[in-house]
Amino acid sequence: MFVKDVMVQNQVGLHARPATFFIQKANEFKSSLWIEKEERRVNAKSLLGILSLGIVGGTQIRIIADGSDEQTAVESLVELVESGFAEDNR
């Protein structure tokens, strides 16, 4: 299991469009992936799960992976979040 905390950089947070980019990236990996905000944990490959967390800009989230490519998966998703979900960084 590999875990890393990251601050959501973009002002609007993980609304539908950036959440879709996040899920597309998450689905590139074999590992099981989760996003945790405070005490809630959701599947990082689920749009409804991510949207249900109501993540806004400036929120600290934890990305958790478990599987064969867990470290690569987490680092890649952290990089995406830190980029502010710039479309050219997909």
The residues annotated with a catalytic role in the active site are 15
Question: Which structure tokens are listed for 63?
Answer: 């990305």
Tokens 């989760």 label which residue? 34
Among candidate residues 21, 29, 30, the one with its CA nearest the CA of residue 85: 21
Question: Which structure tokens are listed for 90?
Answer: 């997909």
Question: Which structure tokens are listed for 72?
Answer: 């690569």
